[in-house]
Amino acid sequence: QVQLVESGGGLVQTGGSLRLSCAASGSTFSINAMAWYRQAPGKQRELVAHINSGGIAIYADTVKGRFTIPRDNAKNTVYLQMNSLKPEDTAVYYCNVEVIPKGYWGQGTQVTVSS
């Protein structure tokens, strides 16, 4: 089993920055990919950023150039650095960690960007 604890959400103005953290504990010896998703009210959950075990990252087109997804393997932690935030980034953000063959979800953290 893997437990995930997210932190770092909050309220920020347009153009501001936030950094989300997701720390994994438990059976973390075989963590593979790590990712961030988000879900806005009335919308489906969508992939924001994904990083594999080799450090290769991919991003949704809507966040490219503004968000990055660094990971610290020694701390079993993945981050989401969010810059130049826009009101349309407002959502609950969830981390997802793949420990083959299962994926685990964090509890979600609210990010609200005011205009």
**How many Cβ atoms sit within 10 Å of the Cβ of residue 7?**
12
- 27 confidence band (pLDDT: 50, 70, 90): confident
Which pLDDT does position 34 carry in this prediction? 97
Report pLDDT for 10: 97
pLDDT, residue 107, reads 95
φ and ψ at 76, to 5 degrees? 50, 45
Q: Is the pLDDT of residue 28 over 90?
A: no
pLDDT of residue 50: 98
φ and ψ at residue 88, rounded to 5 degrees:
-70, -5
Distance CA 6, CA 37 (A): 12
pLDDT value at position 100?
82
E strands present in 1-115: 2-7, 10-13, 18-26, 31-39, 46-51, 57-59, 67-68, 71-72, 77-82, 91-99, 102-105, 109-114
Interval 29-86: pLDDT, tens: 788 999 999 999 999 999 999 999 999 999 999 999 999 999 999 999 999 999 999 9
In this prediction, residue 48 carries a pLDDT of 98
The DSSP 8-state label assigned to residue 9 in this structure reads -
* Residue 34 near residue 71, CB atoms below 8 Å: yes
Q: Which residue type, as a one-letter code, is found at position 104?
A: Y
Q: What is the pLDDT of residue 112?
A: 98
